[in-house]
Structure 1
Amino acid sequence: MKTCSACFRLFSHDSGFCPVDGQRLIPVAEVAPPVHPEDRRVGATLCGGRYQIWRIVADGGMGRVYQALDLRTGRSVALKILHPEVALDEVSVERFHREFEVSASLPHEQIVDVLAFEKTEDHSFALVMEYLEGEELRTVLKRDKVLPPERLVRMLSQIALGLEEAHKRKVVHRDLKPDNIFLVGTHDGDMVKILDFGSVRDNSEGAKKLTVVGTTIGSPFYMSPEQAQGLLALDHRADVWSVAAIVFECVTGQVPFHAPTGPMILVAIMGNNPLPPSVAGKAYGAPASLDPVMEEAFMKSPEARLPSVGLLADRVGQAYGLAGSHRDWAYLPQKELAARIRAAPPSVLARQPHASASVGAVPAGASGGSSAAAVIARSPDASEAFAEDIVMGVPQRLPRWVIPAVAGAAVLLCALVALLISR
């Protein structure tokens, strides 16, 4: 392995220069590991001296991700280590361990490869995963707002292939969102990796259940109605809804359901219908051919919804004029997909004028689709509006402003009480 002396990324031995900093790469044997003033793990070796930490990759609510060198195999790996307070919670640790077990049981090219579950010397726990170079779909959408059709179809087709493997084993991901779709760039286009199986629902016989009935887990913007209600009867069709919400955001630049708070988002999901994509995504040229696809994907009743992510991918590709199925498009070069979409008959992609749709709520329990629009005319994307996931029963890190705000409020309250008493 080699490393960059500026950013300390790790690269294969045949690499010459760092694509980020432009520095000439140096063999790791010739460089001392870096240190970090606020994180003692950086530069240290963990898990019995096997993994040498080289840099911090990302920080999340549950843990921190590092790039490390596996000293036994000589390969670069990612270590996802729980935050200290999360590592003290038995349910959180059990979910973390289940993420390892489920991911390890689903070997598929479109699912991140999880290699080991380890206990660390600082009394936490680590998932050892394949190290990926690329970016989350969330990062792409923050930068570009929407995806071109060919990139969307290729990505969605690969997501369908990965989830088909999980759904075949009666495993529901239950937390699909742009943050958990990782895109590895290649010459032909993105290679998708589905991340984070820590919130799965395992419907296989005898599977251990970690979620109490009525508990809601996941990101509210992408939850199905049955998931929003915490219903016991939840299957792979909840993932169909979540993937449809991702597709909607990829073509319109906004989430299908929006409200100021998590609970209000869930109420909107259960009682409202989203705008048709051709209306919500008018500025980006979203075709009207997508409208009936999203209508079926967003049916409130799972029985009325599109039955699989594979069929959703097929319908989206066909809405752009492609012939075949997601299995034909998943690894087709993105340029070729673009050429096929451009060659589609104009009538396929024609944007149909919509009747003046009334913007308002639809009665709860309606199974409808795009005929009646809900939410506001322009709802922000998920990153702008409400960044927190709803995970009831699993401890989350409090935002930094909470404790000072509570302390300040307590001081003001005490001062007010003292003033009233003095009178």
Structure 2
Amino acid sequence: MKTCSACFRLFSQDSGFCPVDGQRLIPVAEASPPRTPEDRRVGATLCGGRYQIWRIVADGGMGRVYQALDLRAGRSVALKILHPEVALDEVSVERFHREFQVSASLPHEHIVEVLGFERTEDESFALVMEYLEGEELRTVLKRDKVLPPERLVRMVSQLALGLAEAHERKVVHRDLKPDNIFLVGTRDGDRVKILDFGSVRDNSEGAKKLTVVGTTIGSPFYMSPEQAQGLLALDHRADVWSVAAIVFECVTGRVPFHASTGPMILVAIMGSNPLPPSEAGKAYGAPASLDPVMERAFMKSPEARLESVGLLADGVGRAYGLAGSHRDWAY
């Protein structure tokens, strides 16, 4: 492995220069990770001396993500470590552990690979994952507002393939949003990775339930009506709605339902209909052929909604004049 002496990112042995800072990379054996008083984990080696922390990648409500060197495997990994106060909550820790179990049971090229679940020396818990280089869809939308059709179709087609694996096993993600869709840049285009299975609903026989009936789980802007109501009868079609909300935002530059508070957003989702994409996204050239596809994806009743994310992806591609199915457009 090599590292950049400016930003301390880790790279494979065959890399030459840091794409962020332009610095010539040096072998990790000739460098040391930085130390910072703001976070004692940076520069430390955790989990029985296996993971050497090199830098902070991101912060979230549950925890902080680091890039680390797996000293045993000789590879770069991401460590998501719970915040101290979250690590004291038994239900949060159980959800975190279930994220590991569910993700590890869903090996798929479009689902982030989870490698381990560890207890840290500072009394927290770590989820060990493959390290991804790229950006979240949220970052792209903040910068570019919308996605061009070819990029949108490729993304939703890959989402359909990854979610089909989960849905076949009766696992509902329940928190699909631009923040949980990671776009890995490759020479051939985006490679989608679905993140964060910590809010899943496992409908398989005998699965343990962690959500009390009437509790809403998910992000309000992307939540289906049945999620908004906290209904017990919730299946993969809730994810269809969420992906439709993401597609809507990708073509219009705005979410389909908007209000000033979370509860008001949920009321809007349950009681009103979004504008047709061709109207909401007129400034970006959203086609009228997309309107009936989104109308079916946003049906309030799951029984009337598009049956799968694959059918939604098919509809999006055909709205842009493509022949075939999402399996043809994913790569």
CA drift of 1:269 comes to 0.1
Q: Within 2, Cα distance between the matches of 1:158 and 1:32? A: 38
> How big is each residue's C-alpha offset from its partner over 1:244-269, in whole Å with a ceiling of 9 and x where there is no partner?
00000000000000000000000000
CA drift of 1:36 comes to 1.4
Q: Within 2, Cα distance between the matches of 1:161 and 1:191? A: 12
What SS does the corresponding residue of 2:303 show, helix, strand or coil? coil
Q: Within 2, Cα distance between the matches of 1:48 and 1:230? A: 41
Structure possessing the higher radius of gyration over alpha carbons = 1
What residue number does 1:350 align with?
none
What residue number does 2:273 align with?
273
What SS does the corresponding residue of 2:193 show, helix, strand or coil? strand
Q: Within 1, Cα distance between the matches of 2:34 and 2:273? A: 52
> How big is each residue's C-alpha offset from its partner over 1:55-80, in whole Å with a ceiling of 9 and x where there is no partner?
00000100000000000010000000
Q: Within 2, Cα distance between the matches of 1:74 and 1:14? A: 14
Q: Within 1, Cα distance between the matches of 2:80 and 2:187? A: 28
Q: Within 2, Cα distance between the matches of 1:36 and 1:58? A: 16
CA drift of 1:12 comes to 0.5
> How big is each residue's C-alpha offset from its partner over 1:387-408, in whole Å with a ceiling of 9 and x where there is no partner?
xxxxxxxxxxxxxxxxxxxxxx
What residue number does 1:198 align with?
198
Q: Within 2, Cα distance between the matches of 1:90 and 1:16? A: 45
Higher mean alpha-carbon deviation, 220-229 vs 30-39, is at 30-39
Q: Within 2, Cα distance between the matches of 1:69 and 1:120? A: 15
CA drift of 1:37 comes to 2.1
Verify: 1:120 aligned to 2:124, yes or no: no
What residue number does 1:388 align with?
none
Write out aligned runs for 1:93-172 (5 A). 93-172=93-172
Q: Within 1, Cα distance between the matches of 2:146 and 2:76? A: 32
CA RMSD of aligned residues (A): 0.3
Q: Within 2, Cα distance between the matches of 1:89 and 1:216? A: 19
The list of structure 1 runs, each at least 4 consecutive aligned residues, that deviate by more than 4 angstroms after superposition, is none
What residue number does 1:297 align with?
297
> How big is each residue's C-alpha offset from its partner over 1:251-300, in whole Å with a ceiling of 9 and x where there is no partner?
00000000000000000000000000000000000000000000000000
What SS does the corresponding residue of 1:263 show, helix, strand or coil? helix
What SS does the corresponding residue of 1:182 show, helix, strand or coil? strand
Q: Within 2, Cα distance between the matches of 1:305 and 1:104? A: 30
Q: Within 2, Cα distance between the matches of 1:33 and 1:160? A: 39
> How big is each residue's C-alpha offset from its partner over 1:104-151, in whole Å with a ceiling of 9 and x where there is no partner?
000000000000000000000000000000000000000000000000
What SS does the corresponding residue of 2:118 show, helix, strand or coil? strand
TM-score by length of 2: 1.00
Q: Within 2, Cα distance between the matches of 1:287 and 1:280? A: 11
What SS does the corresponding residue of 2:304 show, helix, strand or coil? coil
What residue number does 2:231 align with?
231
Q: Within 1, Cα distance between the matches of 2:61 and 2:230? A: 22
Q: Which runs of 5+ in 1 are unaligned?
A: 332-423
> How big is each residue's C-alpha offset from its partner over 1:38-97, in whole Å with a ceiling of 9 and x where there is no partner?
000000000000000000000010000000000001000000000000000000000000
TM-score by length of 1: 0.78
What SS does the corresponding residue of 1:318 show, helix, strand or coil? helix
Q: Within 2, Cα distance between the matches of 1:301 and 1:217? A: 18
CA drift of 1:169 comes to 0.1
Q: Which runs of 5+ in 2 are unaligned?
A: none
Aligned length: 331
CA drift of 1:188 comes to 1.2
